[in-house]
Amino acid sequence: MFDINTDELVNKILHMLMEYAPKFFLGLVVFYFGFKIINKGLLLLEKMMRANNFDEDLRPFIITLTGLLLKLIVSISAIDILGIETTSFVAMLAAAGFAVGLALQGSLSNFASGILILFFKPFRTGDMISVGNYIGKVKEIQIFNTVLITIHQRLIVIPNSTLTSEIVENITGAGVIRVDLTFCIGYDDDIDKAREILWSVIKGCPFLVHQEGQEHQILVEKLNDSSVDLAVWVWAKGTDYWDAFYFMQEYVKKAFDRENISIPFPQMDVHIQK
């Protein structure tokens, strides 16, 4: 049997509690309230940026990065209060960071790509872009990802490295863009009459831009097997692209129906010789 001095053991436990309990409690206080203050400070920073019309693209990037750095500093301070040697901890953290960096090369690539996007600005928050199979409005440019909202109100998160390695079409970047449409009429229909109907729809479309140098055009595009294809080129603001597209589709069909202009189905004439 081991001879345990109960009084000595209790004294050691009490001594450790007296020595480390205040540090532990103070470390928790610093950690908890530090994070609370940082979160409130970040909200205040965002409000100040909005009030001063700070770059909308840089806003979420700076806030997220600032939050990460401040929380890292608070965490190291709390560890230092506990009595843990921070120099060795920082060295260990650096070594761990190097190992994690090797494991997360894709994330680091996304981070670097995010900086490139914010610096060179191939697109901005609010622009309509097309990348891969997705078309949407840029909601937010984050540290690692860019968030799009599609016309179907779906939230798409795309890694920033994808946006710097693939072809990205900035639909609204030029301000005013051309909307290309094709409408088919039958061979028995009058082309001039169809053109007049198309012009009337164009003049009544509220989403089109009428300005010098960007005139709307109606051209005979192709003589198909069963139809005459009319190419309609109209101009609209990038933000109104889909509104203009769907307006023209609907009201051209209605106007053609009123004026008895046919939209032929694909057909084939078969001649049988006896």
Any idea where the domains of the chain sit in the sequence?
A: 9-103, 123-170, 176-258
Q: Helix H segments across 52-165?
A: 58-81, 86-103, 105-120, 160-165
Confidence of residue 267 (pLDDT cuts 50, 70, 90): low
Q: Which residues are CB-contacts of 54 (< 8 A; sequence separation ≥ 6)?
A: 48
Mean per-residue pLDDT over the chain, rounded: 81
> What's the confidence (pLDDT) of residue 1?
47
Domain 9-103, CATH among 3.30.365.10, 1.10.287.1260, 1.10.3980.10, 3.40.50.300: 1.10.287.1260
Distance in angstroms (rounded) separating the CA atoms of residues 165 and 155:
21
Determine whether domain 123-170 maps to CATH 3.40.50.720.
Answer: no
Give residue 126's pLDDT.
Answer: 85
pLDDT in tens, 196-221: 999 999 999 999 998 887 899 999 99
Residue 151: closest CA among 121, 132, 130: 130
